[in-house]
Structure 1
Amino acid sequence: MNQNQVFQTRLLSSLSKVFPDGQGTEHPVTGGSMLSNETYAFQAAYRTEGPVNDLRVIVDAPAALPVTVRRVGLVPSGLPVYPDHDEHVLRAEPGLFPDPLYPLDEEQTIPAVPGEWQSVWITLQPNGQTPAGSYPITVRFASGDGEVAGVETFQLELIPEDLPPQKLIHTEWFHTDCLATYYKLDVFSEEHWQVIGQYMDTAVKHGMNMILTPVFTPPLDTEVGGERPTVQLVDVTVTGEDQYAFGFDRLARWVELCDEKGIRYFEFSHLFTQWGAKHAPKIMASVDGNLQKIFGWETDATGETYRLFLEQFVPALTEWIHANNLSERSYFHISDEPGADHLESYGYASKLLGGLLQGFPIIDALSDYDFFENGLVKTPIPASNHIEPFLEHNVQPLWTYYCCSQYKEVANRFMCFPSARNRILGYQLYKFDAAGFLHWGYNFYYSQYSKGEIDPYETTDAGKAFPSGDPFIVYPGPGGVPVESIRLEVMNEALQDLRALQLLESKIGRENVLKALEEDLPEPITFSRYPREEEWLIAKREWVNRKIKEALASANV
């Protein structure tokens, strides 16, 4: 830790969020360990009392250990969290929060505002050729004339063992229309496809292996009577009264791109509107050679016309799925977040689609156990603060999700939450042997109900509708390349923790892992009760790594 009166530096873990007033710099670190195929990150925070011209950061590491350096930026939040929040927040007042990670190279200067703490984010990713061992990572801050203002050294141990492949199905809803809107592109133009591919790349690299696939424009967060831009992968042609033909060329291109990027699972967009399944999604079709809307808010979901459409569309789609060997990779949705007063309308939709989709999993985010008990959904996705009845009845496979409503007690990823409250999810998913995790906002760049576009660097709360950090986890960068966030990186660390625990389980058994996980805690881990401190998470992961290393040594004796 550099205590120079003029220039201070401090090494921090990836779980610190550094604010200009110094909050987040209280827990310095000196080193850590990682497995040979994961991503490791730490931060170097700095503060100057006087002006520093052309400040640069230089990171020296072995050539076999690739390093990426990014600057942690600040973005405004008008709604950090709802007023009746719990006490586990960093700060609840509107202001600037650290979140975006801006690319940086050694030739670029970084801000040095006298009196303000700032940080750089240092990522280490072994390339498969990195030998095991302990590596010093030196971080130097230098002014434009070459004078070194501060130096820190982080000691990293590389353990020669790979994380196993991710088993958890993880989706963050991918909003193709938001990309077209933000970048001013024609939907499914070549430029749009390129941007879609770049956003898929980032998603896959951070543990997302399922993608929302818009066979029709997803009826999500849309004002009643309003519309989102059309992003429809399936061509529909009206061939006669209540008769239709379907084309899947665009969907085939989507699947091909997903295969190229490494996406494994497809969740086909909802076939009924959100919050009740009372209407059809917006569906465009060629009618006498003209493209026009044939279904939407004006369509009664229980009417004969939409039923006849689905009875033709769903068999055509499933036949295409089977023909393309996608049966084991395909999931379907009925309607998002139905409530107790929607049992009748959702029940109708469930019965109709259940008969058409036999053999395919149907998944929906909901929190009322009655939907499952009544057989209306085979694979419910309960919110993490409503999951207890599903755990008590041992619902399998177990999925969960969180969004803006999960702001008390449970884990979440809001900017105002400590990063430990984001990362603890990996331990919870491991303990309860979860099969899947869903979040609605990978890149939602609209205001609430999709009434208008926003600038994600200025509006991080969908127009003071959702706590900042809920609507999106990547920012739109230049050239259609997403700018990653602290929250994205920490979520990926949670998924790596999950895989590390599964690796340790393969060596010492699940019972022993679970026992060790909670041995120093006053109560068992649940989705609402868990250790809050970043020190616990870091120490526990170091313990996991140490036990893996010991097992490896024993196997080599």
Structure 2
Amino acid sequence: MLNRAARMETRCISSLIKVFADEELHAPAQLRGSALLGEFYSFQVAYRANVLMRSLQVRAEQSELGPNITVRTVELVPANMVSYHDADEHVLRSTPGLYPDVLIPFDTNRGLTGYPNQWRSIWITVEVPLNAKAGLFDICIQIENDIGELVSEETFTLEVIAATLPEQSLIHTEWFHVDCLATYYKTDIFSEYHWQLIEQYIHTAVKHGMNMILTPLFTPPLDTEIGGDRPTVQLVQVERTGEKYNFTFERLKRWIELCDRSGMKYFEFSHLFTQWGAKHAPKVMAMVDGQLKQLFGWDTDSKDPEYTGFLTLFLQELLAFVKENDLEQRVYFHLSDEPNLADMDTYRAASELIRPILEGFPIIDALSEYEFYESGLIKHPIPASNGIRPFLDHGVEGLWTYYCCAQYKLVSNRFLHMPSSRNRVLGMQIYKLKLKGFLHWGYNFWYAQFSKYPIDPFQVTDAGGGFPAGDAFLVYPGAEGPIESIRLEVLTEALQDLRALELLEQKVGREAVIALLEDGLEQELSLEVYPQEAEWYIHKREEINRLVSENSCSE
């Protein structure tokens, strides 16, 4: 709508539209939507002022859902390394610049700024209560100028459906880097302030569909330059007296209790060997003769008898702790991240050492060479989304998948320059392939590639030119805790799609759900082939909700 006196143009649009300040907005208006009980529903109000307008106030009013509505502004972040030189064409743009991503809670003191002739957007999220009444709810979004005059008003109608979104069955982890918290917030590791931050960020993770947490038994040997170092974040305290070791698990127990308070379900213990082939030991610190010393690290060969003996003893003690705390069904282990065929010998040695000790416990690793599974070195591989086909063709049960910087052609991903539809499709792909888990390495990686130096995530979104912008983190560090991104919210929507599909399957059967998903598509839905239009996902989810509603009423 156009308010000529106030020079403010606004339009309700879906959450899947990225609004750029330097281009015309071609997205169609979306004035209504539906959600299940327990769901987060987001939409945007795009706005453009014809003159500079400062200190605008925004209100989102709805008498019954009001307390469950949040208003955030979509702010721009710079992207330098936008994509690799040979990226596909399924992107919004391939140029460096300012991209919409960070979602800042609306501050009445600061207000909203309307920049002349720039489209910007406001992000509205409704957290539908589990006990909400079914029906139609009109949400009125008003924008007032600095003297209280109404300059724009939009109304979005949300239909609440009387069916509860089921609990997430997918195991989902986004690797949590506790050292990045300590570095950015300038606090000592495992200080009380650090523990407070850890809890805040875990709470946000759980809220957005992450139910597994990377747990640093020792400092995780991940994205660290060979021979380099990351801050020590070791939950297990070690003391060496002569040739004997003593392990203390109080700090690990505090971690688990904190995670329990936030609703975290699963723990993936950090890798027992270094990334890219299990060639070395992770950094292990211990008290020796009253002094803290490094026992193992890059200079320790993974087959070193001293380390393998240490590891054998440690794992026996750890399993006793796991059993004492009833964690047997909640823990997963890692050997090494992303080994390739050239690393088969070192990975084999690690596997043959560890598997007998951890018999009955799942060992999961991100690796995409089918030979590792075929050779019996791992029972629970996590192949990349662009390398999963051999595992699917061989009927491997209980598959997970992951994507990161290398999955930038055809498959879904969530880089800043990609359309949000390419992020949203993940839930439907997981449902179609019956995948059991999803892993990503970057919940809050705020270092440059290989952890060489810290970065400011609000200024550097590409790990210092290491990865396409948007790969390394989903949350930004706010003064009061985590600040979400568009990519995190859309990923959450993808996981909600998955849960809605599982609910519909309970009512009409899997065959009917697949038919609904693929209705009108020229090719079957897959990891490489999927609709690119944002509107398709909005309409498809509405179809799913409508069928859920109809079949709930008939029960």
Alignment of 1:313-328 (within 5 A): 313-328=314-329
Q: Counterpart of 2:78? A: 76
| Number of the residue aligned with 2:549 | 549
Is 1:373 paired with 2:374?
Answer: yes
Cα distance in 1, alignment partners of residues 116 and 25 from structure 2: 18
Question: Cα distance, 1:4 vs. partner?
Answer: 4.4
Tell whether 2:468 aligns with 1:471: no
- Structure 2 residue runs of 5 or longer lacking an equivalent are none
Structure 2 CA distance for partners of 1:107 and 1:137, relative to 1, 3 Å:
farther
> Counterpart in 1 of 2:248?
247
Contact 1:71 1:119 in 2 (8 A): yes
Aligned positions of 1:499-514 closer than 5 A: 499-514=499-514
- Aligned mate of 1:187, from 173, 184, 189: 189
- Give 2:262's aligned residue: 261
Contact map agreement 1:269 1:332 (CA 8 A) in 2 = yes
Match of 1:127 in 2: 129
**Which residue of 2 is the match for residue 489 of structure 1?**
489
**Corresponding position of 1:336:** 337
Give the secondary structure class of the aligned counterpart of 2:513: helix
Determine the C-alpha separation between the residues in 1 that align with 2:90 and 2:409.
Answer: 9
Q: CA deviation at 1:146?
A: 1.4
- Letter paired with 1:41: S
- 2:523 pairs with 1:523: yes
SS at match of 2:329: helix
Q: Distance in 2 between matches of 1:250 and 1:25?
A: 53
Tell me how far 1:554 sits from its aligned partner. 1.1
CA contact (8 A) 2:14 2:30 kept: yes
**Whole-Å Cα distance in 1 between the matches of residues 326 and 108 of structure 2?**
47
Q: Give 1:186's aligned amino acid.
A: D
Map 1:379-528; keep pairs closer than 5 Å: 379-479=380-480, 481-528=481-528
Query: In the alignment, which residue of structure 1 is the partner of 2:232?
Result: 230
Residue deviations 1:434-478, cap 9 Å, x none?
A: 110000000000001000100000100000110111000000000
Query: Structure 1, unaligned stretches of length 5 or more?
Result: none
Rounded to whole Å, the distance in 2 between the matches of 1:510 and 1:38 is 22
Mapped contact 2:54–2:112 kept (Cα < 8 A): no
* Letter of the 1:336 counterpart: D
Counterparts of 1:220 and 1:374 in 2: how far apart (Å)?
25
Instruction: Quote how far apart the aligned CAs of 1:25 are.
Output: 4.3
Shift in alpha-carbon separation, 1:270–1:246, aligned structure 2, 3 A: same
Does the C-alpha gap of structure 1 residues 204 and 24 become closer, same or farther in structure 2, counting only changes over 3 Å?
farther
Q: CA deviation at 1:64?
A: 3.5
Cα distance in 2 for partners of 1:27, 1:179 equals 40
Residue 52 of structure 1, CA deviation? 2.1
Q: State the Cα deviation string for residues 2-21 of structure 1 (Å, max 9, x = none).
A: 47482211111000000002
The residue that corresponds to 2:149 in the other structure is 147
- Cα deviation, residue 63, structure 1: 3.0
**Matched residues, number:** 553
Kindly state the Cα deviation for residue 332 of structure 1 after the two structures are TM-superposed.
0.1
Shift of 1:127: 2.7
Query: Structure 1 residues 24 and 485, CA, compared in 2 at 3 Å: closer, same or farther?
Result: farther
Q: Is the 8 A contact 1:100 1:475 kept in 2?
A: yes
Contact 1:171 1:212 in 2 (8 A): yes
The alpha-carbon deviation at position 27 of structure 1 amounts to 2.4
Amino acid in structure 1 at the alignment position of 2:429: Q
Give the direction of change, closer, same or farther, for the CA distance of 1:24–1:329 in structure 2 (3 Å limit). farther
CA distances 1:107-161 after superposition (whole Å, capped 9, x unpaired): 5411211011110000001233421110111111110111111111111100011
Contact 1:411/1:424 (CA < 8 Å) preserved in 2? yes
CA offsets 1:295-324 (integer angstroms, 9 cap, x no match): 000001011111111110111101110111
Q: Report the Cα offset of residue 81 of structure 1.
A: 1.0
Q: Give the whole-Å Cα distance in 2 for the aligned partners of 1:423 and 1:111.
A: 29
Q: Which residue of 2 aligns with 1:534?
A: 534
**Residue 163 of structure 1 corresponds to which residue in structure 2?**
165
Alpha-carbon distance, 1:53 to partner: 3.6
Write the letter of the residue equivalent to 1:15. Answer: L
Question: Given the superposition, is the C-alpha separation of residues 305 and 108 from structure 1 closer, same or farther in structure 2, using an over 3 Å criterion?
Answer: same
Provide the rounded CA distance (Å) in 1 between the counterparts of 2:382 and 2:395.
Answer: 13
Instruction: Work out whether residues 423 and 491 of structure 1, in 8 Å CA contact, stay in contact via their aligned partners in 2.
Output: yes
- In structure 2, what is the Cα distance between the partners aligned to 1:244 and 1:58? 60
Paired with 1:108 and 1:56, the residues of 2 have a C-alpha distance of: 9
Residues 4 and 528 of structure 1, relative CA distance in 2, 3 Å threshold: farther
TM-score, reference length from structure 2? 0.98
Change (3 A) 1:156 1:128: same
Residue 352 of structure 1 corresponds to 353
What CA distance in whole angstroms lies between the structure 2 residues aligned with 1:4 and 1:504?
46
Give the equivalent residue in structure 1 for 2:65. Answer: 64
Aligned residue runs from structure 1 range 38-117, under 5 A: 38-65=39-66, 66-106=68-108, 108-117=110-119
The letter of the residue matching 2:532 is: R
Q: Distance in 2 between matches of 1:399 and 1:468?
A: 24
- CA distance in 1 between counterparts of 2:57 and 2:163 reads 35
Task: Report the AA paired with residue 216 of structure 1.
Answer: F
Moved more, 284-293 or 99-108: 99-108
Distance in 1 (alpha carbons) for counterparts of 2:63 and 2:394:
52
- Mapped to 2, the partners of 1:303 and 1:309 lie a distance apart of 10
Contact preservation (8 Å) 2:73, 2:103 = yes
Q: 1:204 aligns with which of 197, 203, 206?
A: 206
Deviations, residues 60-87 of structure 1 (Å, cap 9, x unaligned): 1123342100000000001111111100
Separation in 2, partners of 1:170, 1:34:
22
8 A contact 1:17–1:24 mirrored in 2? no
How large is the Cα RMSD of the aligned pairs? 1.1
Contact 1:12 1:25 (C-alpha < 8 Å) held by counterparts: no
Using the aligned pairs only, state the percent identity: 56
Q: TM-score, normalised by structure 1?
A: 0.98
CA distance in 2, matches of 1:256, 1:396: 32
Give me the whole-angstrom Cα distance separating, in 2, the residues matched to 1:373 and 1:2: 63
**Aligned counterparts of 2:444 and 2:28: Cα–Cα separation in 1:** 31
Q: Give the conservation status (yes or no) of the 8 Å contact 1:425–1:494.
A: yes
User: Partners of 2:4 and 2:160 in 1: how far apart?
Assistant: 31
Secondary structure of the residue aligned to 1:54 is strand
Change (3 A) 1:24 1:83: farther
CA distance in 2, matches of 1:284, 1:540: 52
Rounded Cα–Cα distance in structure 2 between residues aligned with 1:106 and 1:12: 23
Moved more, 6-15 or 195-204: 6-15
Paired residue type of 1:486: I
Q: Could you tell me whether the CA contact under 8 Å between 1:441 and 1:473 is conserved in 2?
A: yes
Displacement after TM superposition at 1:50 (Å): 1.3
1:27 corresponds to: 28
SS in 2 for 1:321: helix
How far did 1:51 drift?
A: 2.5
Question: CA–CA distance in 2 between the matches of 1:108 and 1:311?
Answer: 57
Quick one: distance in 2 between partners of 1:436 and 1:240? 43
Change in Cα spacing, 1:389 to 1:463, as seen in structure 2 (3 Å) is same
Cα distance change, pair 519–354 in 1 and its aligned pair in 2 (3 A): same
